[in-house]
Chain A
């Protein structure tokens, strides 16, 4: 164990190596480590956020589904109501039309009966005239007249 100039040389080498490490080795590695740490932290934060977003979205979906179901129910109720209304209206309309038709038919029937009565009256008049003619042509006979009149009456009914 002798001391010599090697000591000085080793001292210089020591500082040169340390300087090179400080200049070219340490900063890039530490930078990469810090960047990776940040990346991982960001990734974890993003994962947490995504999880929160997901649960929020799920909640929203449930809410939307509930709303949709509700509104569908509303629509159905409204549709049923409307259908009932339309049906009622149609029914009323039909009843009205039927009533109208019946009225019209009755009116027509009445008119026809009237006309028939009128025609009948005309015929009765003619028959009366014809009867009178026949009566006048034959001898007057009370019995016969009575039969005739009765016949006439029968005919008139």
Chain B
């Protein structure tokens, strides 16, 4: 097997299998004893890179004439601060919410950007490092549902926290049973059900949207790589043309999805501040 070229199906499946703590592909759909080591490594690594640059900019920040790097970070901060100001109407909450939005934006942007690396580059290096030609590695943490749902559940927890903090426990529980349809004992269960569906839908769609975009993007890069892998003139030219077009288009998706995730984070937290 090791000497023979994998079939297209094997290639894709291999690329979509995580390097996890069990060493082989996860069998069950949900298994809380398994860790995806590749997702953890790249997300933490990119998180540290994000913070490293942000802290560098923060330490050098002065009221004087900014350098280019500082100006770039300031533009981002200003952009996030403006968005946060327009959506979350509580200066006290913004002290935490705006930094959350900035972190989420840059972190997701970097994680999504891992897609720009050739799909086989890091996995190949990893296989050479471990000496195992079948070693698994996925480099895009946002193409892992665990990564995106982890963040969207983080946002959900923030929403619950601010719901309770702003409206008070009793106020929030009251809202859970009386909104959106009105205060009537017969409507209590319906309201509560609607609220639960709303929270669930928000969180799942929040995480799924990012995951789906990045997963699909990664898959298309693999298909394009397969095209080049045919080692024909058509495959080579097709790989270059399709790969270039998709990579350029993907720049938009990478930035857009990071922005959307950030904006939805602000919107959901902003909703937690408003009474129905």
Q: Which residues of A line the B interface, CB within 8 A?
A: 1-11, 13-18, 20-22, 24-33, 35-36, 38-39
* Contact for B102 among A14, A16, A26, A27, CB less than 8 A: A26
Once the chains bind, are B103 and A10 in contact (CB under 8 Å)?
no
Tally of contacts, chain A with chain B, CB under 8 A = 142
> With A3-B146, A18-B104 in contact, is A25–B154 under 8 Å at CB?
no
Main secondary structure of the interface of B (DSSP, over half): helix
Contacts of B78 on A, CB cut-off 8 Å? 33
Contacts of A28 on B, CB cut-off 8 Å? 58-59, 61
Once the chains bind, are A30 and B47 in contact (CB under 8 Å)?
no
Query: In the complex, given contacts A2-B34, A17-B107, what are 5 additional A-B residue pairs having Cβ atoms less than 8 angstroms apart?
Result: A7-B146, A10-B149, A21-B51, A22-B96, A32-B63
Provide the B256-275 mask, 1 if CB < 8 A to any CB of A, else 0. Answer: 00000000000000000000
CB distance from B17 to the nearest CB of A (A): 10
Say if the beta carbon of B54 comes within 8 Å of chain A. Answer: yes
* Contact for A13 among B30, B33, B44, B55, CB less than 8 A: B44
Provide the B114-153 mask, 1 if CB < 8 A to any CB of A, else 0. Answer: 0000000000000000000000000001001111011101
- Minimum CB distance partner of A38 in chain B: B63
Once the chains bind, are B40 and A6 in contact (CB under 8 Å)?
yes
Near A by CB (< 8 A), chain B positions 26-48 give 26, 28-36, 39-40, 43-44, 47
Can you list 7 A-B pairs, Cβ within 8 angstroms, ordered by A? A8-B32, A10-B149, A10-B151, A13-B150, A18-B104, A26-B95, A36-B66
Interface size in chain B (residues, C-beta < 8 A): 55
Interface centre among A2, A4, A20, A32 (most CB of B within 10 A): A4
Contacts of B35 on A, CB cut-off 8 Å? 4-6, 9
Contacts of B66 on A, CB cut-off 8 Å? 36
A44 and B204 alpha carbons, distance in the complex (Å):
50
Provide the B7-40 mask, 1 if CB < 8 A to any CB of A, else 0. Answer: 0000000000000100000101111111110011
Q: Please name the 10 residue pairs, one residue from A and one from B, whose CB atoms are nearest each other, closest first.
A: A10-B150, A35-B63, A6-B146, A32-B61, A22-B99, A4-B34, A14-B154, A6-B36, A21-B99, A26-B99
> With A5-B34, A5-B35 in contact, is A22–B147 under 8 Å at CB?
no
Contacts of A10 on B, CB cut-off 8 Å? 39-40, 43, 141, 146-147, 149-151
Once the chains bind, are B150 and A2 in contact (CB under 8 Å)?
no
Once the chains bind, are A4 and B151 in contact (CB under 8 Å)?
no
* Contact for B151 among A1, A14, A20, A32, CB less than 8 A: A14
Say if the beta carbon of B163 comes within 8 Å of chain A. Answer: no
* Contact for B55 among A15, A24, A33, A36, CB less than 8 A: A24
* Contact for A25 among B29, B54, B151, CB less than 8 A: B54
Say if the beta carbon of B77 comes within 8 Å of chain A. Answer: yes
